[in-house]
Amino acid sequence: MSLKEPDLHAESHALANQPVRAIPIGGLTFFASLGTGILWNALYFIAESEYGFTERDSMLLAFLNGIFYTVVAVNAGRVVRLLERRLSPRSALGFILAIQALLAPLVLVPNETVLWITAITLTAFGALQWPIVQHYLASGRHGPEMRNAIGWWNASWMAATAIGLAAAGPLKQADLMKWAIPSLLPINLVALLFLAKFPAHPAHHDDAERSRHVPPTYRPLLSAARVLHPMGYLVIGALSPILPYLFNALATEPALRAPIGATWHVARLVAVIVLWQTAFWHGRAASLVAAGLLLALGFATAVAAPSEPVLIVGLTALGLGQGAIYYSAIYYGLAVGGAEVDAGGIHEALVGAGYFLGPALGLLSLSAGGGPSVFIGLVLGVLAVGFTVAVVRAGRARSQSIAAGST
């Protein structure tokens, strides 16, 4: 009796076709997000302190960054397919991280034109980077496994961006802020170490398995989430210029401003953890509508807060809503989109849309000669329109669910 020789080629192929493991993609995401958080926090400080940017200049830079991020992200699938003629997705991601690392120190060159070019180029490469990462994250995962993966992935990048935000204060006090963006060089090199553990190509994403885990209600819910998703980033972008005015109006102690301002970060992480560990919200229009309501009412409560406790309540509601919207948007997007780069690209393009919409409203309010109250009014107006459209779209999902239940 002879023993059958093991098929090493088949075993190797099966191993290569497994979804990328948590530690490599979690580690890469953490360090790449740490770099992104530092970039967005340091860029406008450097522009103001080193080059004398006015409020209008900074808003114009933020607007153009958002535009470039959106345009590149929405075309991420086409760009990656073009690169795949010569590079694997892993190599393309490595190329992007390496280019960012090499470009980051250019902000030390004392030239305003170099600052503009470097900032926009780093932003554009970031818009390519995340759809590829999300492609690796979701490929080969379905249903609860995909939800679980998105959960710990969200927790890793949110923790990293919070650290990047927290580092801004000490760096400013030590007059080291100009070195923050060049720190992307060592940070991205560490991220590349985790990339070495990625397979050359993401795992195969089985269409039959995908269909089994994607009911018809997911498409209208995705449509609703994609309206609310940029609204969430509009609110986040609006908070930075508005919070100082709110704190001044409330005569908040300087030592309390950073902890209170970070309330929404903590609330967002709590929302992500809850959605990570539960499935009650899957396919439910009410959950998405509640998230949109929390976002809008939270922002309205925060900007009208008569005291610090009310401001904290508003920021908490805002953070819970934005976290739930983000999770829903990426889960439905990757589930319906078959984990493709295009699905991640649209998700990131909507992030960019939120980022440029905020500065666009800021520039509009400045052109009208208005102050913070005009800007707040414009943001609330856009939120009201977006929430109404999202409710209508979510209603279609509820109608489909009722119709399916009655058949």
Please give the residue that has the higher pLDDT: either 95 or 55.
Answer: 95
First to last CA, the chain: 58
For residue 101, give both structure tokens.
């690392």
For the chain, the domains span 20-406
Contact between 164 and 87 (Cβ < 8 Å): no
Tell me the one-letter amino acid at 289.
V
Q: Does the pLDDT at position 10 exceed 70?
A: no
Asked if 226 and 337 touch (Cβ cutoff 8 Å), the reply is: no
- The predicted-structure confidence for 189-241, as pLDDT tens digits, reads as follows 999 999 999 999 998 887 777 778 888 889 999 999 999 999 999 998 888 77
Q: Determine the residue type at 86.
A: R
Mean pLDDT of 173-182: 85
- According to the model, what pLDDT value does residue 209 have? 79
Tell me the angle at which helices 184-195 and 89-103 cross, rounded to the nearest 10 degrees: 170
Mean pLDDT of the chain: 87
User: What is the CATH topology of the domain spanning 20-406?
Assistant: Growth Hormone; Chain: A; (1.20.1250)
What are the distances in angstroms from CA 357 to CA 125, 335, 353, 370? Answer: 20, 27, 6, 17
pLDDT value at residue 1: 41
Closest by Cα among 214, 168, 231, 191 to 30? 191
d(CA 201, CA 194): 15
Note whether 61 and 116 are within 8 A (CB): yes
300-311 pLDDT, tens digit each: 999 889 999 999
Are 58 and 183 contacting, i.e. CB atoms less than 8 angstroms apart? Answer: no
Give the rounded percent of residues in the chain with a pLDDT score beyond 90: 49
Distances (CA, A) of 100 to 35, 73, 106: 10, 16, 10
DSSP secondary structure letter of residue 340 = -
Query: Which tokens is 141 given?
Result: 């995962």
The stretch 3-18 carries a mean pLDDT of: 50
Helices and strands per DSSP (H, E), number in the chain:
16, 0
Q: What are phi and psi of 294, to 5 degrees?
A: -60, -40
What is the pTM assigned to this prediction? Answer: 0.88
Chain segment 205-219, per-residue pLDDT in tens: 877 777 788 888 899
Q: Which among 369, 338, 402, 308 is positioned nearest to 138, based on CA atoms?
A: 338
